[in-house]
Amino acid sequence: MKIKILFFIMMIFFFGNISAQEIKKHLYKGKIDKYPVTLYLVEDISGCPSTNYSGMYKYDNVSKWLYLEISDDEENKLVMVEGGITGIISVKINGENLTGYWISPDGNKKLNVNLKKVPVNSRILQPYEEKYDQVNYEMNDC
């Protein structure tokens, strides 16, 4: 009986760790061309099959938040498509920096993107989390 209980406890522990999920939230500030921007990035590390990203960004003091659908690859590159396909951001993760390009939907305009990760705590992230929930709902509500 003790062996069965021990086996059961070990199985719960083993399978519980397999399905563990970690969500990290990042804040980046920098520029697209000469325009200051803020990017809020959600990193969902589920291990099944890999990391998933989502997020939003805005041109500081100019625009509303734009929802981003994000794809990644094994070479630390992210491709972010603005909701409504009003532009595409393609960046490479270089430590604390994201560098790459914003590309217009027709491909005729290409702007440099340079963003740096901002140190945050839960108090700083809270308004971004709330805004992201709203932007995500507005973009994905049926």
- Residues 81-94 pLDDT 10s: 998 888 999 999 99
> Is residue 100 a contact partner of residue 92, using CB atoms and an 8 Å limit?
yes
Domain boundaries, the chain: 21-140
Exposure b/e, 39-68, CB count within 10 A at least 16 = b: bbbbbeeeeeeeeebbbbbbeeeeeebbbb
Overall CATH class of domain 21-140: mainly beta
Q: Is the pLDDT of residue 18 over 90?
A: no
Q: What type of residue sits at position 33?
A: D
Query: Would you place residue 17 in the very low, low, confident or very high pLDDT band (cuts 50, 70, 90)?
Result: very low
Long-range contacts formed by 47-50: CB under 8 A, 24+ apart? 47/20, 47/21
Summary mean pLDDT of the chain: 85
Per-residue pLDDT tens digits for 82-129: 988 889 999 999 999 999 999 999 999 999 999 999 999 999 999 999
Per-residue pLDDT tens digits for 34-84: 999 999 999 887 766 567 889 999 999 998 999 999 988 878 899 999 988
- Note the pTM of the prediction, 2 decimals: 0.81
